[in-house]
Amino acid sequence: MLEQRIQQNFIDSADLKYQASQVLSKPIAAAVQAVLTCITGGGKVLACGNGGSAADAQHFAAEFVGRYERERPELSAIALTTDSSILTAIANDYDFKVVFSRQVRALGSPGDILLAISTSGSSANVLAAVEAAHEREMVVIGLTGRGGGKMGQSLRDTDVHICVPSERTARIQEVHILTLHCICDAVDAQLLGDQDVST
């Protein structure tokens, strides 16, 4: 019984990933182009999210500043979820809703990218960060699920919306991390040339 439940999780995840590959390849390619334009122009990626999405933001920044699978120069990315003093000061002095937006206004510049991650698409502090990014003339790459929520409505034509076709948080997060890996892989391929990294 337990093993069947575990196997079903694998099957459900694989099925969604296969389905999502058909739907998301185009917006993921658009996200790659936006990231390439940003970093080759001297810009940076600011990433934010809550809970598991915060971990995804940090995971992405680590692979950009460090490396993904190939040796390459460092790429500029900052996870807005990591500085406990900034997060607690802003949450205490203002409101938790603005913990990301104040950082975006402080650190963001025109041409930078905000990577906004929210499985529901309706996290208040992520939505505030999107608004702040638009004020700074930044491009937003929104990673959502559940139909896109409020973020889907707030994104502009110049932004990129990657909305996982699922209602389940765990499955959405699994596709989000695969999406971030696709972005890292494609950026490396564009900067360094194609290379088979399957072995």
Q: Encode pLDDT of 65-106 as tens digits.
A: 999 999 999 999 999 999 999 999 999 999 999 999 999 999
Q: What is the pLDDT of residue 199?
A: 52
Q: Which residue reads 């196997």 in tokens?
A: 7
The three-state secondary structure class of 7 is: helix
Low-confidence ranges of the chain (pLDDT < 70): 196-199
**What pLDDT is attached to residue 24?**
98
Per the structure block, which two tokens stand in for 62? 């680590």
CA-based nearest residue to 64, from 27, 39, 30: 39
Task: Report CA dihedral (91, 97, 98, 104) to the nearest 10 degrees.
Answer: 130
Q: What is the pLDDT of residues 97-108, one digit of tens each?
A: 999 999 999 999
DSSP-assigned states of every residue in 112-174: -EEEEE-SSS--HHHHHHHHHHHHTT-EEEEEE-GGGHHHHHH--TTSEEEE-S-S-HHHHHH
Q: What is the pLDDT of residue 189?
A: 97
Position 196 scores a pLDDT of: 66
pLDDT at position 197 is: 57
Q: Given this model, what pLDDT does residue 198 score? A: 58
